[in-house]
Amino acid sequence: MSRTFPTDVDVVIVGSGPTGAAYARILSEQASGRTIAMFEAGPQLADPPGLHVKNIVDEDTRREAQRRSEGLRPHTETAGTRGYADPSKRVVRPGTQLLERDFQLPGEDGLPAGAMSTNVGGMGAHWTCACPRPGEGELIGFLPDLEQLLDESERLLGVSRNPFADAPYADEVRRRLSAEFDEGRAPGRRVAPMPLAVHTRADGELVWSGPDVVFGEVTRSNPGFTLTAEALVTRVLVEDGRAAGVVVQDRTDGTEHTVRARFVVVAADAFRTPQVLFASGVRPAALGRYLNDQPQIVFAVRLRDVDVRDQDDAPAGAIAREGGVSWVPYTDEHPFHGQVMQLDASPIPLVDQDEPAPGTIVGLGWFCAKDVQAKDRIEFTDDETDEWGMPKPTIHYVLTERDHATFDQAKATIVRAARALGDFIGDAPIVLSPGASLHYQGTTRMGEVDDGTSVCSPTCEVWGVDGLYVAGNNVIPTAIACNPTLTSVALAVRGARDVAARLGAEVRAAAGSRV
């Protein structure tokens, strides 16, 4: 049986990740009585919609959810299935799907590890939940209310400042890192626990925030809100310079539906948001440009000179308490961000050594700020389509001399951190393939004025198209090195408030005209 699609709503939201969910939440809170239709190209994995897959205790069920997130070429093997093997031997993580082709052109670095998730919740159903605040050069200088927006983002994501306060050895890890790095740093830029979108239930079990937390009960109970999965938005309708709705393909039966709307929000990730705009004929000069990945360097150590501590058994199904996460913030002098994670096991076998105590193996991940340039971009064409039938993307991406200098500085810093903590596991830090961070930004970037270097205004509305908004990490205009989700949700809050205010003004104007 075919499904029912609405024909006319107040707001359409394309994509169900953290930023799309933020629009739905703010509108449900501030524009009650208005109709909101959300469309997601991928399937719903769990109930409630957008649940983080880490919260699925059963391993087989979790793997099935990851496989269903991997688009048209799933690679995670489950009972009775075989995984797609990429012929280029690129490494792909569970729950994500690699870019299909034209991800690395001759003479360019490209994004060979570029990947995406296609499911209700998007990559927000799979992310690490790290929510550090940007600082110094990462900040968006023309947004005077950014700190307040970040506060609101923390509310929506359910951020805890130190959820692993009882993690063994975490205090010692931070003490050693602080002694190495804190001198001369401003308050807020010193070593600290990593803020995480995670909370502890009454039974003691840790629960990771997916978009289900962002939606909240206020959205789920909103009679004007609908979420339709396996529904691919192929284009936005633009009439007389303003958004008028969307065209949606029902992925279950191939039928096409037109949904009229007063406002349209495209929150389809940094690759597919510009793709939808291009397919809709909305093609500002900056569309797809200023593509910004975060080059990533990793290393690991075993803590030295610590007493092995007895550890209580965690509640059944709980995420291990050994997983303390510490943070070395970005500064302009050190243009990278450190995520230091205590693990319950070594990432590689430790030859001729005793089994390490959980929490004494520490993984270090340094994310570098990219030298942002307009020529790093996603290009689309009218002549070729991708596997979804949308305009085919081609990646142009080059690491500059400045990027390589930042790498050298970051490598030296991660080695300093490793020496301060313990004994090296492996010979040297590893630079991961471009795209491995999954933190793609800039392709529909925000700007203070419409000067051709940005796609949207400070309220996230696309320049020159009334009522069309964009959301996601792709809106961030700065060379941000910290995990970007907290910032992108903050920007979505700004856009959602603008839409809510405009909807309210329309109601007031209509009421006034009847008096």
Could you list the active site residues? Answer: 439
CA distances for 345 relative to 310, 320, 356, 508, angstroms: 16, 11, 7, 60
* Amino acid symbol at 272: R
Angle between helices 485-514 and 18-30 in degrees, nearest 10 = 30
> Could you give the CA distance from residue 56 to residue 119 in angstroms, rounded to a whole number?
15
Task: Specify the pairing of strand 8-14 against strand 361-368.
Answer: unpaired
Kindly give, in sequence order, each residue whose CB lies less than 8 Å from that of residue 87, ignoring residues fewer than 6 positions away: none
Strand partners, 247: 235, 258
DSSP state of 369: P
Strands 242-250 and 225-228: unpaired
Closest alpha carbon to 118 in 25, 9, 213, 45:
45
Rounded Cα gap, residues 91 and 100, in angstroms: 13
Residue 32's SS3 state is coil
**Token digits of residue 192:** 């600290």
Rounded Cα–Cα distance for residues 182 and 329 (Å): 10
State which amino acid sits at residue 417. Answer: A
Distance (Å, whole) CA 297 – CA 49: 33
In terms of Cα–Cα distance, which of 39, 49, 51, 43 is closest to 14? Answer: 39
